[in-house]
Structure 1
Amino acid sequence: MLSSSAHSLRRLIAAAASLALAVGLAGAAPATAADRGSGDTQPLPGYTIENPPLAPLVVGGKPTVVRQGVHRHAGYIIEVPARWNGDLVMWAHGYRGQENVLTTETPGFGLRQRLLEQGYAWASSSYDRNGFNIRSGVLSTKDLADHFARVVKRPHRTYLTGVSMGGYVTARSLEQYPGYYDGALPMCGVLGDQTLLDFFLDYNLVAQALAGVPAYPTPADYLTNAVPRIQAALGLAGLTPTGPDTTNELGKQLRDITVNRSGGPRPGATAAFAVWKDFLFSISVTSGGDSPAERPGQLSTNLFTRYAPNSPVDVNATVRRVAPENLRQRLLPTLTEVPRIAGRPTAPVLSLHGLGDLFVPFSMEQTYAADVARHGRSRLLVQRAIRSTQHCEFTPAEAGAAWDDLVSWVRAGKRPAGDTVTDRAAVAAADYGCRFSDRAAYAAGVGTRRLYPAC
């Protein structure tokens, strides 16, 4: 249901689990065919692993050491620079769909190069399962970090960063293993846990109520029958981010409700709705088995949701109300496939989020901030808004600055600057998100940056 990046949905990588590419790390055993982890070295039944050879980078005139293999049913990559500073960075990837091929990836947004040049080692797991399976991500990432300590050396500090579902893995990992990780950088993360599923449900149920086209549970022909009728009734069919506003008063009500449910009025919100309006219909159509990882929508609900604005249609009175199909799984505090995030970080967290992202909306940051504040841990959280609209649309400058500031925070104890995310007036200000957005990306017209006024 979720991806690690809409602008970079994960490609399937060709080749089998590979041998390590280099040897010679001081104090570590050579990377050989036998270097495949001390745990189970085969994928789980039904899965295959694709982990093609990764060429080392040359840093400071010397090649890095790359180790690849299989550990506890998951493929992995480990890369260590010749002048390692003793710290490790774990990379948590995003949603892979329901495919039966497990794949690895390198840190994005230029972070691989940046980390290695700064002396950090990094490691990334494919996880032992696909699907919207946060439990698998949390456990596989921790298993790989422990494996690194055995085959390389125990690091002085261990950081955790990732995108989208990987941000979910990151936030839950801090709570699952308190004290294990020293700092975290979730980007475009599902920090509001199951409330993301509620947002997807909201959009479809509200649109159906406004258009007078009941279609829940979604039928097989939802996208080809019901959705076109909904779009026509609301004036959505011809709506584009830069074109004229084709919505009628019902379509405007859906847009305003969606803006409120995704973080409130904020720069770029109108254009963002036009970018995401069709996708949010398609995300409601799910397939797969009965587990939450295969069909996460079974956890969603709108029983207690109040929608605003509530006119011209009284949506709160007319919208279909849906209880969670799997209430027990939604309420369990344990590490389930789609677990709760309590809001109890145990290390500094610096997060990045795009203002116009409606795949994993900005409201995820607000939910997490409120949860963290409720537990008296706001001192451990810094959040930054980026003026972009695609999912995980960050530049190397934005991600790199966040990483550098997180490291300074962990090492020197100086909390970096951030944006307030829970003050509705501040979020609605015309210049909100300007402080940490890449001005050069706007000047160059990169991605969706020009959907926002210049800062």
Structure 2
Amino acid sequence: MGTAHRRRSRLQVAVGLLAASVATATPAAADSGPEPSACPAEIAVAATCYTGQDSHGAHYAIAIPEDWNRSLVVHAHGGPDLTDASDPARAPEDLARWSVMVEEGYAWAGSAYRRGGYGTRMGAADTETVRRLFVSTFGEPRRTYLHGQSWGGNVAAKAAEIHRGYDGVLLTNGVLAGGSRGYDYRVDLRVVYQHYCGNHPRPSEPQYPLWMGLRADSAMTPAGLRARLRECTGHDSPAERTAAQQRNLTDILAVTKIPERALESHLRFATFTFRDIVHKRLDGRNPFSNRAVRYTGSHDDAALNAGVERFSADPSARRDLSFDSDPTGLVTVPVLTLHAIGDPTAFVEHESAYRASLRGSFSGHRLVQTFTTETEHSALSDAGYATAMSALDRWAESGHRPSAAAIARECPRFNEVYGTGCFFDPAYRPADYSARVYARPGGLRWPALSPVEELVLRHRPGVGISP
């Protein structure tokens, strides 16, 4: 039996096991039911909206347009937020941001998740719960689609692998390299920043390994972190920036390849979200590594590489983070991605990592990737969202996989309605993930878990990140 045939046989077994596990899963208990609520002002069509809280404590929002096309978009939100409990304002805010889905005739449902903090599978489970709540209350839609943006793209990608009941997936500006590799550039930022700045922590403060982001009991706030960034680099005061601050800033940006406008947000993530991942989700274990990375681009690479803090991941922590968040590519429905080429937060090269995952699971034919010349992360053109949803809907209905060029040609029709611009670049192809993010020589293979390993670990107690 050839190698390719053996791999396909293992994949077929994995698909069978996954189908069996889904068939025997016990649905989450429903809450008291959605209650009518005022729709966000951003929804420009007649619609009825609802809010509620599910049995796990996750707040959610639902909208059904008066002229409903009988299909549903289930939204997975980004972040992660770092609140302790579910935020009742979060889902209505997401509904307002993606009101274009309702205006295009789709019902919309989104969960705020049962808590803040990291947990990709938790988000996927709560997203599936709100889908089931919609079905139990309003009936089975004609078709159901998953949509996730930013970290929500990671959540939606995992939900599509774990749960059935979806006819297609739209991932926009998604963090699609997964947790075990998708935050490596923030790991690099954390250690490079400290090498040049030495104020996070200061020498006079309690010391801790930088992979934990921040010690568990630290009282630092985002404002305090911003002050330290300003102190070292003159980040938000260029007119007053000293020569020493400019050199620090130039070196940090050159080595990490992070855009200056996103530097503070990435450092916040590498501080506060890393603390959440390490202390609250992984019991203090380290999932990150930079042991063999050679950093380049500074005014003195030899000094940088000799002085930067080094560490290796705890294999169990890296496994658990990988199990929680890394896409295996094992999808059975059409997946359309939309990504801004100039996304300063989830670099467009995440798409290359995701493409490799699907190809590794023989699902590459289920993926179409589109790119736009936009330069923002948190929101894209409404005309682009509408175009992408229309293309995904036709693909799911007809079975005919569209091309990026054909999708781009459809955009002007939607722009006549929304007037937000068409920015598709059908000729664009992102570079390999390692072209933007330093590779980890000697690290885990990619993807970190195979589909079969994913299924085995799913039934092993104590593996992964607790909800």
Q: TM-score, normalised by structure 2?
A: 0.64
Work out the CA distance in 2 between the residues paired with 1:171 and 1:189: 9
Q: Aligned residue for 2:171?
A: 186
Identity %: 24
- Compare the two structures and name the one with the higher helix fraction: 2
Q: TM-score, normalised by structure 1?
A: 0.66
Work out the CA distance in 1 between the residues paired with 2:81 and 2:98: 21
Work out the CA distance in 2 between the residues paired with 1:125 and 1:229: 35
- Check the 8 A contact 2:255/2:295 in 1, yes or no: yes
Work out the CA distance in 1 between the residues paired with 2:54 and 2:308: 48
- Check the 8 A contact 1:310/1:316 in 2, yes or no: no
How many positions carry a matched residue from both structures?
364
- Check the 8 A contact 1:110/1:400 in 2, yes or no: no
- Check the 8 A contact 1:165/1:190 in 2, yes or no: yes
- What whole-Å deviation, never above 9, does each CA across 1:27-74 have from its counterpart, x for those lacking one? xxxxxxxxxx982538xxxxxxx999233999999x534343232232
Q: Aligned residue for 1:433?
A: none
- Check the 8 A contact 1:41/1:70 in 2, yes or no: yes
Work out the CA distance in 2 between the residues paired with 1:293 and 1:149: 32
Q: 1:399 to 1:119 in 2, by over 3 A?
A: closer
The amino acid that maps onto 2:161 is E
The amino acid that maps onto 1:55 is C
Partner secondary structure for residue 105 of structure 1 = helix
Q: 1:245 to 1:171 in 2, by over 3 A?
A: farther
Correspondence 1:301 to 2:285:
no
- What whole-Å deviation, never above 9, does each CA across 1:358-397 have from its counterpart, x for those lacking one? 4333332232223233333332223333344443131212
Work out the CA distance in 1 between the residues paired with 2:243 and 2:96: 34
Q: CA deviation at 1:401?
A: 1.9
- What whole-Å deviation, never above 9, does each CA across 1:269-325 have from its counterpart, x for those lacking one? xxxx22122333333332559655599994333234343336622244432112335
Calculate the aligned-residue CA RMSD, in Å.
4.2
Q: Aligned residue for 2:422?
A: none
Work out the CA distance in 1 between the residues paired with 2:299 and 2:42: 61
Q: Aligned residue for 1:7?
A: none
Q: 1:112-123 to 2 correspondence within 5 Å?
A: 112=99, 114-123=100-109
Q: 1:24-103 to 2 correspondence within 5 Å?
A: 39=29, 41=31, 53-55=37-39, 63-73=46-56, 74-94=58-78, 95-103=80-88
- What whole-Å deviation, never above 9, does each CA across 1:218-254 have from its counterpart, x for those lacking one? 57598899987876666756449xx999975664343
Corresponding residue to 1:322 among 302, 306, 311:
311
The amino acid that maps onto 2:135 is A
Q: 1:404 to 1:297 in 2, by over 3 A?
A: farther
Q: Aligned residue for 1:32?
A: none
Q: 1:226 to 1:312 in 2, by over 3 A?
A: farther
Partner secondary structure for residue 147 of structure 2 = strand
The amino acid that maps onto 2:309 is R
Q: Aligned residue for 1:3?
A: none
Gapped regions of structure 2 (runs ≥ 5): 1-26, 202-208, 405-425, 437-467
Q: CA deviation at 1:190?
A: 1.6
Q: 1:383-398 to 2 correspondence within 5 Å?
A: 383-398=369-384
- Check the 8 A contact 1:236/1:251 in 2, yes or no: yes
- Check the 8 A contact 1:109/1:395 in 2, yes or no: no
Partner secondary structure for residue 202 of structure 1 = helix
Q: CA deviation at 1:107?
A: 5.0
Q: CA deviation at 1:423?
A: 6.1
Q: CA deviation at 1:398?
A: 2.2
Partner secondary structure for residue 132 of structure 1 = coil
Gapped regions of structure 1 (runs ≥ 5): 1-36, 43-49, 263-272, 428-455
Partner secondary structure for residue 278 of structure 1 = helix
